[in-house]
Amino acid sequence: MALRYTNYLMAFLFGLSAIAQINDPDPFFWSFIYTAACVISVLYALQKLHWMLAAILALVTGIWALTITPDLTLSGFQNILEEIGMSYIGVEAAREFSGLMIIALWSGVLAVSSGKRKKD
């Protein structure tokens, strides 16, 4: 029951993240991925999520995050919350990596949880 309400919160946060991507240089991909995370959270809360959909999203975002790792820097993570602009090297990569990892981890939790729920 708690996971159900947590999914509504996550759906809201992912929805806000999708809207925030409008100013991004490549808004289509980022808005799409955050919207997909929002949708699977709502589907889980409504008990309509198939575990494979969440697993695919977890896999795609996990692999995407791995492609960003060469651009990550320690200063990027240190300044991730302090810098609104992108004046520090690595801040954009750290933000993108963090967002993708949040989606990958949350989607993984939902895939496992919805898979267990189907077996019960």
Query: What are the pLDDT digits (tens) for 53-96?
Result: 999 999 999 999 999 998 888 888 887 777 666 666 688 889 99
Alpha helices in the chain, H assignment, sequence order:
2-20, 27-45, 51-68, 74-78, 91-119
Share the mean pLDDT of the chain: 90
Token code pair at residue 36: 């997909």
Q: What backbone phi and psi angles, to 5 degrees, belong to 87?
A: -80, -20
**CA distances (Å), origin 59, targets 54, 108, 119:** 9, 8, 22
pTM: 0.89
Dihedral (Cα; 21, 22, 28, 34), 10-degree rounding = 30
